[in-house]
Structure 1
């Protein structure tokens, strides 16, 4: 970084304006992509999924509350784990404070994990999280939305993740799914996985504008640096 090009203020402004043109082009392309995403066809949700929440059993329809739109973060937390995935916890730190804002635009947001509700609640208290987090234990929800894979699928390299069969090491994987409720009918409108969930992580966007970026080169894997937030404090 010490060998980075250093220029005069006028030269810096000129370079910045050239790059600004590219940023504006990207913004317009992103707007177009977002519009196309909203125009994708929907599929009807036929199963009656039931989850365990703070007040007992809740259906997928219940998770909407009074809103028509629902965002689900598929949070990796296996039934026998003591704490949720560090990476998913990183994402949760980013969306914990925004739920009230989403509600103003007719959107509910929840996290769904297979872990027992008591374990989910314990981590939420420890991390100071207030978002709604329910357990899908005993439900097909994680399998049906392709964030959970059987031992057989893993062994045969047949895990269907990010819309293609993958060679994966673990049963649990992250993702984001979106649903719309119209009366008694629920529709699945969108799901994204892998790098597709990058856009939901505000911290990554801030890291992308600093000189060293995410600074993940040379790590065993990209997110090897990520820990539970409370682990940084020790």
Structure 2
């Protein structure tokens, strides 16, 4: 049984109002950080990256479609993996609902992984997702944006993640977001990247859990979470 302080309605209201002031400070700080994020200098992307998509091969500029802004989620799915990262899958479960809105606000949202397109499509079908997902297999894209790691780079101390030297054993893949802008001339600029816990504000399930009495109730990050078709009450997965 959870042991917690109790009080009168008046005591609760007093404490709640004090907390509200802190929440307002946090909201204002978040707005300030978002403004600073938008003020970062943009870097022109010179390398001609090519991706495999359901519509054929596309350059980075062509991934934008009709929009001038592109958000890419670096989804952890390497060639030969049986399934995508469970944490990335938890996060990606939030994309389709948000995409109903942001695609009408000059923003293209999609995932990119190093796995071949066929492996991506198989996992996407298993999860029932609708968002676009491209393969960067055969290009330097994941390595240049510091979400995939070559063994020789790790051993030589050249690998970085979250703007710092990567750990001794970072694994093949790591998660992240990268944002881009395409101007009227078709030039593409890298505007922002976020890694590690910097990604977690898009996880609406976490934001809801933060309202709950027990909060996230984790010993380690995401230790309770499963792919949505792996919970005990999930419908039986159909064989391919």
Shorter-chain TM-score bucket reads: over 0.9
Name the CA shift for 1:224/1:158 in 2 (closer, same or farther; >3 Å): farther
* 2:20 corresponds to 1:17: no
TM, length-normalised to structure 1: 0.94
Within 1, Cα distance between the matches of 2:122 and 2:224? 24
Give the aligned partner of residue 205 of structure 1.
Answer: 207
Contact persistence 1:177–1:191 (CA under 8 A): yes
Alignment of 1:65-76 (within 5 A): 65-76=65-76
Q: Deviations for 1:181-206, whole angstroms, at most 9, x for unmatched residues? A: 00220000000101110112111111
5+ long unaligned stretches in structure 1: none
Superposed displacement of residue 156, structure 1: 4.4
Q: Distance in 2 between matches of 1:149 and 1:126?
A: 27
Structure 1, 69-78 or 80-89: larger mean CA deviation: 80-89
1:82 aligns to 2:82 (yes or no): yes
1:154, 1:170 within 8 Å by CA — same for their partners in 2?
A: no
- C-alpha deviations, 1:132-155, integer Å up to 9, x for none? 001111011000100011112333
Cα displacement (A) at 1:160:
0.4
The answer for the alignment partner of 1:187 in structure 2 is: 189
Are 2:176 and 1:175 equivalent residues in the alignment? yes
After superposition, the C-alpha distances for 1:19-77 in whole angstroms (9 at most, x for unaligned) are 00110011011101101110110100001111000011011111101000000000000
- The total of aligned residue pairs comes to 231
Distance 1:78 1:8 in 2: 54
- Classify the secondary structure of the residue corresponding to 2:35: helix
Runs of 4+ in 1 over 4 A off after TM superposition: none
The offset of 1:164, in angstroms, is: 0.6
Aligned-residue Cα RMSD (Å) equals 1.4
For 1:72, what is the secondary structure of its paired residue? strand
Moved more, 131-140 or 205-214: 205-214
Stretches of structure 2 that go unaligned for 5 or more consecutive residues are none
TM-score normalised by length of structure 2: 0.92
What secondary structure is seen at the aligned counterpart in 1 of 2:118? helix
Separation (CA, whole Å) in 2 of partners of 1:40 and 1:184: 20
Matched, 1:150 2:150: yes
1:162 maps to what in 2? 162
Q: For 2:32 and 2:117, how far apart are their aligned partners in 1?
A: 40
Alpha-carbon distance in structure 2 between the residues aligned to 1:130 and 1:176? 19
State the Cα distance separating 1:157 from its structure 2 match.
4.8
